[in-house]
Chains A and B, each alone.
Chain A
């Protein structure tokens, strides 16, 4: 098969990681209207939990699902304890500060608990490569995991009463209360879901990059770029943006800028989107009266 196509495929696989993290970022953005800078560190911390569980002798998939559950509860707890106090009044700057605090706390806590040395993270997928070596077994496996995860999230929001209530709470909190929805809890559930999604991204990317406290830094930048490209207020746009970033990263890395400058592409896209089309490809332009 054409080498170009194979680069695209392999890019889609890594893009799955950016897509999940981008979706997590957008879910929290829609509820708080602030980008959660700590999303990557939350995912990193979850990945360390999974690593620890595996070290303690737990089977891989047992550790995987237990980590998702713990991350979900952790996400809910973060919302209830540190975000909730700022929910009632217009306090964007305070929330940003809280996010940066979360970032620093989680990063240091992980380094303090598990040290800053690189750790290798196991992959549950076969080591053989497909398509003439362009697509590793892990990439193929993570692609499948990400697709299943996204399908479950989509089905949850689209077809369940709780998913509908969560969408309603993010869109119109006042009307939501008037139909009896407990808006505060819906926001907390959103945090839980976002944390679990981040955990999937972290656990899936760890075998590719080694486990260390700063491992999600570049992933989060790609995820931001993806979310902005697709539209920061459109979850499915952000997913498409995330996949697109994976492909772009690969193509640009191989054919245009080389591996050292790949991250620059993401930064250029972030700035480019903000300058040219701040709402992204699928986002809505919101006009506010002042």
Chain B
């Protein structure tokens, strides 16, 4: 099966600083791929590089078409939903308006109502709060909102940047369960960036381990999980 998204020899830069040194990875359609590694390994940068948010060199193919160098909004419009680090909430807008914005790039506005229902089915809490100002939600609720905003786009690929960040362990488990359900029911592929390697390997079928902007190793999750040396040196658990 051809990859949904493929990065080949991807380099990325913050101003003069060279951060990614030729990273290559692929995401299968409908699969969950995890990008793991310590702080500063280049995980968030990889996601940003995929959506044209920073300067890059190399090649990125989405659905076989080159997308590197395209403007962020054009990559997004191909069906790539990026749930950014820090959740990217529109704090002064209501929960409902945040969700509406998620569907902004879609042309078929008629089916919007069914999408609201779909999202509320995964996150009933948001339905209770739909008129509330999004900035007043708790961290966990804002994470639910960020995932929901991405879902409203009906994406083919979701880029998830640390969905567990700053959440209580019980909530982390809940979010991961829902992500797994979304992946299964909506047939949407996911690229998951996580510090919480154990959780990520649990739901991912493939994983790449990054260190200082390079891929140190990759393979099926089960293999990576069972390799004690990798676990101790790179994943820290």
Contacts and interface: CB of A to CB of B under 8 A. Distances in A.
B93 interface: yes
A90 to B, nearest CB: 13
B45 to A, nearest CB: 15
Interface residues of B, number: 25
Interface stretch (A118-126, A168-176, A245-253, A266-274): A168-176
A138 interface: no
Contacts of A176: 101
Contacts of A183: 73
Contacts of A172: 88-91
Residue among A165, A168, A171, A177 having the largest count of chain B Cβ atoms under 10 Å: A177
A179 B93 contact: no
B84 interface: yes
B102 A179 contact: yes
Contacts of B84: 174-175, 178
B108 to A, nearest CB: 13
B88 A175 contact: yes
Nearest to A174: B88
Interface in B136-187: 149, 153
Contact of A171 (B71, B76, B92): B92
Residue among A177, A179, A181, A183 having the largest count of chain B Cβ atoms under 10 Å: A179
Nearest to A167: B93
B157 to A, nearest CB: 13
Interface residues of A, number: 17
Nearest to A162: B104
Contacts of A181: 73, 101, 104-105
A180 interface: yes
Given A161-B104, A161-B109, A165-B101, A182 B88 contact: no
Given A161-B104, A167-B93, A179 B149 contact: yes
Contacts of A168: 90, 93, 97, 101
A161 B73 CA distance: 16
Given A180-B73, A180-B77, A171 B104 contact: no
B72 A177 contact: yes
A179 B145 CA distance: 13
B28 to A, nearest CB: 23
Given A177-B73, A178-B72, A178-B76, A164 B88 contact: no
Residue among B71, B90, B153 having the largest count of chain A Cβ atoms under 10 Å: B90
A178 B104 contact: no
A167 B93 CA distance: 9
A179 B92 contact: no
A30 to B, nearest CB: 11
Contacts of A164: 93, 97, 100-101, 104
A177 B76 contact: yes
A182 B100 CA distance: 16
A182 B71 CA distance: 9
Contacts of A174: 53, 84, 88
A117 to B, nearest CB: 47
A290 to B, nearest CB: 19
Contacts of B89: 172, 175
A164 B100 CA distance: 9
Contacts of A182: 73
Nearest to B83: A178
15 contacts: A161-B109, A164-B100, A167-B93, A168-B101, A171-B90, A172-B89, A174-B84, A178-B72, A178-B76, A178-B84, A179-B76, A179-B102, A180-B105, A180-B153, A182-B73
Given A164-B97, A167-B93, A181-B104, 8 more contacts: A168-B90, A168-B101, A174-B88, A175-B88, A178-B72, A178-B81, A178-B84, A179-B76
Q: Which 8 A-B pairs have the closest CB atoms?
A: A180-B105, A175-B88, A177-B72, A180-B76, A178-B82, A180-B77, A180-B73, A179-B101
Interface of A: 161, 164-165, 167-168, 171-172, 174-183
